[in-house]
Chain A
Amino acid sequence: MSVIVNEVRRATYFDSMVLMRISRQIAGLPGVEEAGLFIGTPANKDILREAGILGPDGDKAESGDLILALRATDNVAGEAALVEARRLLDQPRISGPSSSRVGSSRTIRAAVHAMPNANLALISVPGHFAAAEARKALRCGLHVMIFSDNVPVEEEAALKRDARDLGLLVMGPDCGTSIVAGLPLGFANVVRRGEIGIIGASGTGIQEVSCLIARGGGGISHAIGTGGRDLQAQIGGITTLMAIDALDADEETEHIVLISKPPAASIVKLVVDRVAKSSKSFTICFLGAQDFALPANARSAPTLKAAAEIGLGRSLSEDQLKPPPMRSDRGKLVRGLFAGGTLCAEAQIVFRQAHLSVASNEPVPGAAPLHGRKGGHVMMDLGHDEFTRGRPHPIIEPAMRESALTEAVRDPQIGVILLDIILGYGAHLDPAGHVAGVLTGSDGGPLVIASVVGTDGDPQPRADQVRTLSAAGVIVAASGADAAEMAIRAIGTCDP
């Protein structure tokens, strides 16, 4: 009979990455079925409740408390695991050499006092608290980038309106990537500076386009993340419009690329009207959407690759690489396992353009939802909330993709596996190595085609990652769109 064990530490806070690491160590202990260490916010309590490890003690925890929760096979295992969890929490934190050079404060106010020329706050606290912290930053005259998600949409709307009144930019919430004046912020890549500006509702979308442009010989002036909901009606594109104003006025920028999922018609009009007023040229990539009226200074791009090409003003070298033929004893299904949601969307779009049926847990218009379907091509967004609540994102921890990959390799119906390998600051230092390790000894398995989002300037240089993948038999395509097209060529054009 399993036992649930909870312990609550009042007024205790730890970085979510630290807690996740400890959670996974505890979950791996003998006799432990499930474990989670979380700050007691309502959203986190839901996660623990759904995982079946929230007991009455944990339920009483407040937002400033730390919950240690686990389910074990018996009391002995549970108690031992709790003891180990306490030990790991109480260990002195190891400060690396670089972190000792960072001045630190307990409040934004004190931080601005210590660095009076500060002009941007990067906020990655639990979503429950993010808007309040952003407000404090705005009051100190700082622009804000909110990495946190789970911020209520009404709070986002109010925050962006107030920021606009102050002439300050709010990038986010749920903004994972920005690049400002050449400085990568959050999860971003090292890309050459140049005259192409990017405004993106998607982090990985920004990453792919900025890397493709850089690898294609171009450069990025700035990449401004707007957060995933900015172009929803309730927000009204406040940040997108302010970003257009900013890039319009920026001398470095000559061309602007807009990246987003297709917004509602009224918002499309809002954006397009503003674009029309600019003297600069635009590429509008509303992923998958093509039927909207374009002003004279804009072109539309259905995919991230197309957006990069229009921005560069030339087509990126067509991938000459012909994939080796699939084994005849395998099925012809394609399984995409994506860490980047936008790359998952792009792959679906490429398949739909080729008139192939495709399903996904995050289907684009024209693709089917997953549930109830058996068979067929499937594109999985493994970075989506359902997989990442309470777990590290696969960009940070490739092991999160491991079981899906292993299962796909063993599935005789699957002829091609599509992967995205995302590099840059914040990403795992050797995702290619991890994939190579999983694939070792899987001869006779499906073709594995990967795109590698990154540059040679990244902490994990792209050329090295490509080499590691190639040595493991992975076919590396020049872009996400190219990978999807290669997969289509590999299976022929038969609809399964």
Chain B
Amino acid sequence: MQGPRGSPLKLTEEANQEALRRILTGEPILIDVVPAAQVIPDLADHVILHAGPPISWEEMCGPMRGAVTGIAVFEGWAKDLDDAANKAIVGSFAFHPNHHFGAVGPMTGLTTRSQPLIVVENSAFGNRAYCTINEGLGKVMRFGGNDAEVLNRLRWIREVLGPALGRALRELGGVPLKPLIARGLTMGDEMHQRNVACSSLFLRQLAPALARTSKSKDELVACLEFIGRNDQFFLNIAMATGKALTDPARDLEGCSVVTAMSRNGTDFGIRVSGTGDRWFTAPVEMPVGIYFPGFSERDANPDMGDSAIVETIGLGAFAMAAAPAVIAYVGAGRAAEAAAFTRSMAEIVVGSNPAWVIPALDFAGVPTGIDLRLVVETGLAPTINTGIAHREPGIGQVGAGIVKAPLACFEQALVAFAETMDIE
């Protein structure tokens, strides 16, 4: 069926190669940390960005609501959590996906005007992407935590850590992230569930600049301790990197490459280059994994977070062969299964990334550029490594495991994608 643009196959193959080229030639640099309103002017009062595709207060899961009420108090839009909840019910807040404003956020992923945001610039294409700073492990807002401890920590991040990081990064001239991630891959990280190597490399690079630009020794100590005890500190940087690398590949005619995968605790959403900004959504699936002592599947919240952007650029579960230790989180499995995940994901992508190689797979590049057509054809849904939140707000992480993107998203997307090519 040859339209005026030539054969559908040829159009898509060429568009996909271009999308892959753009992703692979991106140059992500961590250049700054600044207050959100400075880089996202639309972030007025009462505007709350969240993880995942669009969602209303009524549809939100427990942790998301917990985070919303918490952030409303933090920003001074409500007196207390109950007041915040009432205001949410009557529609006082405007909710939007992070993705609609060039941002991403892990788990509940709330982004509001006064929070400091990591700024990653893709110097090859000039675009930027943003993410909040990782709060650390335990009882934190991204798992729905909203008590005084959580809000005080956010205040310290806003007033001390954020500005300190900003000064250090500006003094350093930015941190190139592509080589740092490449090193992390050779050290057992996959940049979603496991970030300890990258977090350490990052701190090593930044520490002297932090020391030089610090306002006081106490401040320096606090910052170093905060970053140093958070194995997942680099996650948020990896996420902003993911968005910075995929954004130039958006909106290519006839292109079947997936440009975003994201969840809001209720729905899983994907975006495909050739169908522009349309979200294709389906109910999220439950993660399968192992639970911390005292917790079980009964306690698990459905899948949540923009962190699947990491799999969208070939890391996370796609690079699991680099991080066999992650298999321990998935339950009793053999280290060789980690490689099987990567090989499986290689069946649904356009190509691989020569800059990010996995030694255990004979230095094969991570599988990159999820092809919508291949997902539908093979029935192999992208696999995502994820933390598991407690379904009640404010309790925190209760486990870790893997989750699949729902095939329904891709099936819907295929129909819409075919329509853009006048095919039914």
B-contacting residues of A (Cβ < 8 Å)?
11, 64, 105-107, 109-110, 113
- Mark each residue of chain B from 317 to 345: 1 if its CB lies under 8 Å from any CB of chain A, else 0: 00000000000000000000000000110
The reply to whether B379 and A110 contact each other, CB–CB distance below 8 Å, is no
Q: Which residue of A lies closest to B9 (CB)?
A: A139
Does B347 make an interface contact (CB < 8 A)?
A: yes
The reply to whether A107 and B378 contact each other, CB–CB distance below 8 Å, is yes
Q: Which residue of A lies closest to B374 (CB)?
A: A107
The reply to whether A107 and B379 contact each other, CB–CB distance below 8 Å, is no
Question: Total A-B residue pairs with C-beta atoms closer than 8 Å?
Answer: 16
Nearest Cβ distance between residue B139 and chain A, in whole angstroms?
39
The reply to whether A106 and B380 contact each other, CB–CB distance below 8 Å, is yes
Q: Which of B347, B374, B377 sits near A105, CB closer than 8 Å?
A: B347
CA distance A209 to B379 in the complex (A): 43
Nearest Cβ distance between residue B98 and chain A, in whole angstroms?
32
Which 5 pairs between the two chains have the least Cβ-Cβ distance?
A: A110-B347, A106-B347, A106-B378, A107-B347, A107-B378
Q: Which residue of B lies closest to A136 (CB)?
A: B377
CA distance A265 to B343 in the complex (A): 53
A-contacting residues of B (Cβ < 8 Å)?
343-344, 346-347, 374, 377-380
Chain A positions within 8 Å of B343 at CB level: 105
Q: Is the interface of B mostly helix, strand, loop or mixed?
A: helix
CA distance A110 to B350 in the complex (A): 11
Chain B positions within 8 Å of A109 at CB level: 347
Chain B positions within 8 Å of A105 at CB level: 343, 347
Q: Which residue of A lies closest to B407 (CB)?
A: A11
Q: Would you mind naming 16 contact pairs between A and B with Cβ atoms under 8 Å apart?
A: A11-B379, A64-B379, A105-B343, A105-B347, A106-B344, A106-B347, A106-B378, A106-B380, A107-B347, A107-B374, A107-B377, A107-B378, A109-B347, A110-B346, A110-B347, A113-B346
CA distance A64 to B347 in the complex (A): 20
Chain A positions within 8 Å of B379 at CB level: 11, 64
Chain B positions within 8 Å of A113 at CB level: 346
CA distance A107 to B380 in the complex (A): 10
Chain B positions within 8 Å of A110 at CB level: 346-347
Q: Which residue of B lies closest to A11 (CB)?
A: B379
CA distance A113 to B343 in the complex (A): 11
CA distance A106 to B374 in the complex (A): 11
Chain A positions within 8 Å of B344 at CB level: 106
CA distance A105 to B343 in the complex (A): 8
CA distance A493 to B326 in the complex (A): 79
CA distance A110 to B344 in the complex (A): 9
Chain A positions within 8 Å of B380 at CB level: 106
CA distance A106 to B378 in the complex (A): 7
Nearest Cβ distance between residue A251 and chain B, in whole angstroms?
38
CA distance A399 to B347 in the complex (A): 41
CA distance A64 to B411 in the complex (A): 15
CA distance A64 to B407 in the complex (A): 14
Chain B positions within 8 Å of A64 at CB level: 379
Nearest Cβ distance between residue B17 and chain A, in whole angstroms?
16
CA distance A109 to B380 in the complex (A): 14
> Told that A106-B378, A107-B378 touch, could you supply 4 new A-B pairs with CB distance under 8 A?
A11-B379, A64-B379, A106-B380, A113-B346
Chain B positions within 8 Å of A107 at CB level: 347, 374, 377-378
CA distance A11 to B374 in the complex (A): 16
Nearest Cβ distance between residue B331 and chain A, in whole angstroms?
15
Chain A positions within 8 Å of B346 at CB level: 110, 113
Chain A positions within 8 Å of B378 at CB level: 106-107
Nearest Cβ distance between residue A19 and chain B, in whole angstroms?
19
CA distance A11 to B380 in the complex (A): 12
CA distance A22 to B347 in the complex (A): 31
Q: Which residue of B lies closest to A111 (CB)?
A: B347
Q: Which residue of A lies closest to B346 (CB)?
A: A110
Nearest Cβ distance between residue B50 and chain A, in whole angstroms?
32
Chain B positions within 8 Å of A11 at CB level: 379
Nearest Cβ distance between residue B320 and chain A, in whole angstroms?
17
CA distance A64 to B380 in the complex (A): 14
Nearest Cβ distance between residue A406 and chain B, in whole angstroms?
45
Which of A106, A107, A109, A113 has the most chain B CB atoms inside 10 A of its CB?
Answer: A106
Q: Which residue of B lies closest to A64 (CB)?
A: B379
CA distance A110 to B342 in the complex (A): 13
Nearest Cβ distance between residue B10 and chain A, in whole angstroms?
13
Chain A positions within 8 Å of B377 at CB level: 107
CA distance A113 to B351 in the complex (A): 11
Nearest Cβ distance between residue B13 and chain A, in whole angstroms?
12
CA distance A201 to B400 in the complex (A): 57
Nearest Cβ distance between residue A104 and chain B, in whole angstroms?
9
